[in-house]
Every structure is written in C-alpha cells, then in structure tokens.
Structure 1
C-alpha cells in the first residue's frame, strides 16, 4: 500500500494549497472573477472567455470581473478539481484493497462525500453572490478535508509502539478541547473574513479606542443574509461588523490560554516535547499574524498567511489527538 499512502500525502499537501488559494481568491476580491460555474463564461479557461470578460469590463470597469481575477478563480478551481480526482482515486484504491488498509474504506468514502459537497458549496459561492454562510461553510469544508486526510495518512502509516503512547490518558481531554476550540476559532475567523469585518477594529488591544465597543450581535451573527446586508436587506451596520471582529479576538484569547495550558502538560509528558514545540510555534506565529493584520490594515500576504497558519495549527491538533487516542 506504499502508493496508496503516497497518494494520501499528495492529496493532503494539495488540500493545504487549495485552502491557501481559496483564502487568496477571497481576500483579493476574486470570488466572482468568473460569475458562472464550473467554467468561466462557459469556457474552460479565462483565455477562451476573453471576449466575455472584456465586454463585462466595458460595462463595469470597477466591477468584480477582470482578467486577473478570472485567472485567480479558475486556478483555484483547477487545483480543487485535481484534489477531487485524487480523493476519488483514494476511495477506489481503499475499496479494492480494503483488506490491506488499516481501517477500511469508510474514511475515504466520507472524504469523497465531503469533496462532492465542497464542489456544491463552490458552485453556490458563485451563484449565491458570496453569501457569507455559504463561503464560511466552504472554508470549513476545506479545513475538514485537510483534517480527515491527515487522520487517514497517520492511520495508514501504522501505529507506533505502546511505549510511545504510554500514560497519556491525562492528555486526551485537553487535546480534544484544544481541537474543538481551534475549530470554533476557524469558524469565527471565516465569519470575519466572509463578512469583511477584519478592519472593523483598526487598533490593538483596544477596539475603536475602548475595550468593549458598541456591538450588534443580532445582525452580526444572523446566518441567512446576503453579503453586507441584514436579513431585512438593510445595510449591515458597523456595530454588527464590530461584534464579529471582537468575538474573534475574544475567542483567540481563550484559545491561547487553553493551548498554553496544554503545551505545558505536553512538555511534562515524555515523548511529547516535540509536539509541544510545534504547537507553541504555530500558536505564536498565528497570534502575531492576527495582530499584524489589524495594525498593518490587512496586507494580502499577511492575511493569506493567517489563513494558512490556521490550517497548520488545526493540523497540529489533529495530529496530537491521533497520537493520544491511537493504541
């Protein structure tokens, strides 16, 4: 099953690329660079859709469509389509060699279902005009794909010796809590990004010059609404964007405290110092990137790195949970 494991690893690396590319497309306002799906104005590439793109530019020079944005969007789709083919191949190989795999084809089948749903979310992202709930769900689906592929790859590598996993029962609840909080923080971060609320607070650690600014949680966390609007169609107020941003900051503090406590416990457990170092570094980098986004007014490179850092921090917690739960 060596080829099978290599295929899973390739899909895992590609998923990280797709997640980062998705963030780049979203943060560079290229999500509607091709306003149809799966092609671009019905063509395979933006090059073949040049006339349609030029016509759109002539009508709306400052609109969401341009040649550069179309290529960004389509490159992301090409990568995502390749990932879908790899996951399909993984499932086929897992089914054919189900007696030789460490866990059977159940997890590969779940991955295949998730990838199909991701494709639908990608389509709805365009057809629903970047509705925040759809775009956020698409982001979470990408993170879930990354997590499941990592778990599958770790499982197929084979389990380590019993000595490596000895006396770690005390870590399981902490590792599980850390993972749940990271998922919640990624969901909040996605909600910040898809609602363009990253600069609702432009200072740190204060927000709009105070610790607790005026906030509108009702409109900020209404899920079923269009981008930039309330459920009734009015313009989304700044207080709603502030509530979204401030909640993400508060959760970041909670995540940092819990992961800091978990890292201390890992350092005290034989065989887990390396894991503690990895989580510590990723956490420090992620917090620094988040603060930099605010103080530097959301540079594209820093914002994309923040998304990629979230994926890597999530992967480190998945890795930890695998280690403390597998025997």
Structure 2
C-alpha cells in the first residue's frame, strides 16, 4: 500500500472506532454529558465532580434559548461525571478522524491530474468530516433532536464509503473480484447494499426511540423495553426487514462461492457473517433485553458491514472495466 492509502485507511479505521464509541455514548445516555460545545462544562478538560464546575463559564442564556426552563440548578441536577467523561472521550476520539482525513486530502494533490476522482473523494471526505463536526455541535445544542442524530449517523456511513473508494482507487495495483461472471450477482450485491443502508437508517430511528425510553423511563428495566417499542411502526418494519436482508445475503453468498481472490472471499464471508450476527443480536434485543453491550455491537458492526459491501461493489465493478493485477 502507498502512503496515501495507509493514511486513508487510518482515517477509515478511526471512523469505525468513533462509531463504536459514539454507540457507547448513545446507549449510556451520555450525549448531553457535555452540555456545551466545543468546551465541556466551560472547560477544555472537563470536571470530575460538581464542585469543580464554574457556572460563570457557562452561557446560561444560550441554554435557555434552547429550553427556557434550564437554570444553574437544573444543570447541577443533570451533572453526571461518568456521562461527562464518556462524551468527552467521544470528542477526543473524533480528533484522529479529522487529522487523518486532512492528511489524506493533502496527500491527494498528487492525483489532481492523473487521477482526479481520488482527489475529489479525498476532498469529499474532508468536507463530510467538517460537516459532521458542525452537525455534532448542532446535536448538542438542539438537545439531541432526533432527526439531527439520524443525519449525523448517515453522514458517518457516507464518509466510510468515500474513504473506501479513496483507498481502492489510490493504489497503482487494485484487487478485482469476478463474481462468477454473472451480472445478476452484482445486481444482488447492489440490492443488498442499499437494503442494508435503508435498514441502517431505520435502525438509527429505532435507537432514537430507545434514547427516549432511557430518558423518560429510567426506572423501567431494559428487558421490557421491547414491549413499548413494539407499539411503534418503524420498529416493526425494522425488525421484519432484517429477514429480507438475511434472505438476500444468503442468496448473494450462495451465488458468489466461486468468486475469485482471497480478499474477495474474505469480504464475502465477513458480510454474511455480520448479517448472521446482526440477526442474532436483533433477536436478543427483541425477545430478551435491549442490553447496552448488544446495542453497541449492533451499531458498530453495521459500519463494518457497509465498508465490506461497498468494497465488494467497487472491486467487482473494476473487474469488468479495468484489468489491474489481482491482489490476493
């Protein structure tokens, strides 16, 4: 791999790690652990106890524009050092994403003339990171407004795809996958990718519902949350749609058993393995308990699934267009 590809890969891995950490933020209800942005409780390094909070450094008037009922007393009541530091660590983890993406963009100038699509992808990745950083501030200032949270996650998934493309196109030798030489298999792969994206969007909306449950019904055990969720249409559609993905995934895996390239085989097995794992995790949440660890795995694995599927799409497309040396 070239230096450019290694840098873009570092940005990709940092983004996946950030998605896992972000999932921890959501399932622990730490999204407002830091009520302000970019500081946390008015400090660059957040306090560990309420006694350390200097309320004079907080713009209470700005908080009251969001919610007139916010006062120093209500903020004091909401202070939770665990939530504060989980959210603060989430912000720290986002720094490598920005730095590696910026480095990827700077290194992409070498492709400006000979391979402009790589430069455009690198610029797009940087733009997505900056947009999501601004959106992250809006998420905090909006009080975790549901629609904004879903958009925040959607942009993160888009960033993953852009970085995968940049890594793939940024090398002189690119791996290719022959999916049994049939166009129908590639169509299946495309359908699987977009159904997974759709399922991810619905999943983000379901997680907004669980966030609401966590805030409103703190004393209700998580193992009965599914009873409330089953009254929501989006949850029922999300749960049923997973069986469609399993069916399409199984068909795709069956038809691509003879796909060429060890790396391609690894990605195909990873895709089907994650789909099966996601089914098991979904069943656990819908019939046993909406456990925080299960939620984090469910969210995090979806990012790896998107990466593997998108890589398969562009590698199989190149097999029919380019004739690069295959890398096993």
TM-score range, shorter chain: 0.7 to 0.9
CA distance in 2, matches of 1:256, 1:163: 22
Maintained 8 Å contact 1:30/1:73: yes
CA distance in 2, matches of 1:263, 1:140: 26
Classify 1:95/1:306 alpha carbon distance in 2 versus 1 (closer, same or farther; 3 Å): same
How far off is 1:80 after superposition?
A: 1.2
Which residue is 2:140 aligned to? Answer: 126
CA distance in 1, matches of 2:143, 2:232: 23
User: Is 1:93 aligned to 2:93, yes or no?
Assistant: no
Aligned residues, how many?
296
CA distance in 1, matches of 2:46, 2:211: 30
Select between 152-161 and 287-296 the one with higher mean Cα deviation: 152-161
Gap regions ≥5 residues in structure 2: 56-69, 215-221, 323-328
Higher helix share: 2
Which residue is 2:155 aligned to? Answer: 141
Maintained 8 Å contact 1:30/1:72: yes
CA distance in 1, matches of 2:17, 2:256: 29
Classify 1:63/1:194 alpha carbon distance in 2 versus 1 (closer, same or farther; 3 Å): farther
Which residue is 1:211 aligned to? Answer: none
Report the RMSD for the aligned CA atoms in angstroms.
Answer: 3.2
Maintained 8 Å contact 1:169/1:324: no
Which residue is 1:191 aligned to? Answer: 205
Which residue is 1:30 aligned to? Answer: 30
CA distance in 1, matches of 2:177, 2:299: 36
How far off is 1:58 after superposition?
A: 9.0
Classify 1:240/1:278 alpha carbon distance in 2 versus 1 (closer, same or farther; 3 Å): closer
Gap regions ≥5 residues in structure 1: 209-237
How far off is 1:73 after superposition?
A: 0.7
Q: Deviation digits for residues 195-220 of structure 1, max 9, x if unmatched?
A: 227989968xxx85xxxxxxxxxxxx
TM score, norm. by length of structure 1:
0.80
1:297 aligned counterpart, secondary structure: coil
TM score, norm. by length of structure 2:
0.79
Structure 1 segment 201-280 matched on structure 2, within 5 A: 242-271=232-261, 273-280=265-272
Q: Deviation digits for residues 70-102 of structure 1, max 9, x if unmatched?
A: 111111111113211221121111124534658
Maintained 8 Å contact 2:42/2:54: no
